[in-house]
Structures are given as structure tokens and as C-alpha cells.
């Protein structure tokens, strides 16, 4: 299990939100509940577009900063490359819960922590 994650969310208005966390499933649930950030709370629903495991918090913070500094076109290309390299779980992959299930299916998040 990774100690930290960098993730990109796609918001209802098409904007992208990048963040890092040490507990991906909990953070995604907070985003879905509108409690994780003001930015995403005003743009619900959000969907997980990409998530990358990081070796530690410092690496996650550096990668978050790097991604945030990219132009939008580069962020979209990064998300697209990530989605092409991932196992797609059919039509349920477009929701936060579906993406959590997909992460669990790919053994990136333990099944018991995938969704509460």
C-alpha cells in the first residue's frame, strides 16, 4: 500500500483539481461529500480522473506541485495517458465510487478500504 497519493479530479464544470493525500479512499469520499475543498464543493459531482501512488508525502507534494504547474492541455494528456494504462471497469468507472472499486479491483486499494 502506498504511503501517499497524487490525484486529479474532473469537476462538473470540466475543470481539473489536483491534490495529494495519505488516504485516497477517505479523501475521495470527502470530496464526494463536498467537505474536502471549497473548490470541488462548488463543482460537484467530481470524478477521479487519475491517481498515482507515491513513496512518501514529500514526493506526493512535489508531484502535486509539478502537475499544478502544467498547462491544462498537458494535464489532460497526463490524465489520458493514465486512463489508457489502467484497467477500466466499464460504465461504473465514471463515478468516485466506481473509481474506488476499480482501484480495489486492480489491487491498488485494499478491498475493505475501497468504500465504506
pLDDT (tens digit per residue) in 79-116: 998 887 765 444 444 455 555 555 555 554 455 544 43
Give the contacts of 107 (CB within 8 A, at least 6 positions apart): none
Show the domains of the chain with their CATH numbers: 4-114 (3.40.1440)
pLDDT of residue 58: 96
Q: Transcribe 68-103 into DSSP letters.
A: HTS-HHHHHHHHHHHHHTS---GGGGGSHHHHHHHH
Separation CA 6–CA 64 (nearest Å): 6
CA dist list (Å): 89 to 22, 71, 92, 98: 24, 29, 6, 8
pLDDT of residue 98: 56
Q: In the predicted model, what is the mean pLDDT of residues 65-82? A: 94
φ/ψ (deg, to 5) at 47: -130, 145
pLDDT (tens digit per residue) in 16-64: 999 999 999 999 999 999 999 999 999 999 999 999 999 999 999 999 9
Amino acid at each position: 500500500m502506498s504511503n501517499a497519493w497524487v490525484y486529479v479530479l474532473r469537476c462538473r464544470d470540466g475543470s481539473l483539481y489536483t491534490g495529494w493525500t495519505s488516504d485516497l479512499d477517505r479523501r475521495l469520499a470527502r470530496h464526494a461529500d463536498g467537505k474536502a475543498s471549497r473548490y470541488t464543493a462548488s463543482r460537484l459531482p467530481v470524478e477521479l480522473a487519475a491517481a498515482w501512488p507515491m513513496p512518501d508525502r514529500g514526493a506526493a507534494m512535489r508531484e502535486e506541485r509539478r502537475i499544478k504547474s502544467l498547462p491544462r492541455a498537458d494535464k489532460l494528456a497526463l490524465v489520458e495517458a493514465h486512463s489508457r494504462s489502467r484497467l477500466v471497469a466499464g460504465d461504473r468507472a465514471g463515478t468516485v465510487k466506481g473509481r474506488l472499486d476499480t482501484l480495489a479491483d486492480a489491487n491498488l486499494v485494499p478491498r475493505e478500504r475501497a468504500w465504506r
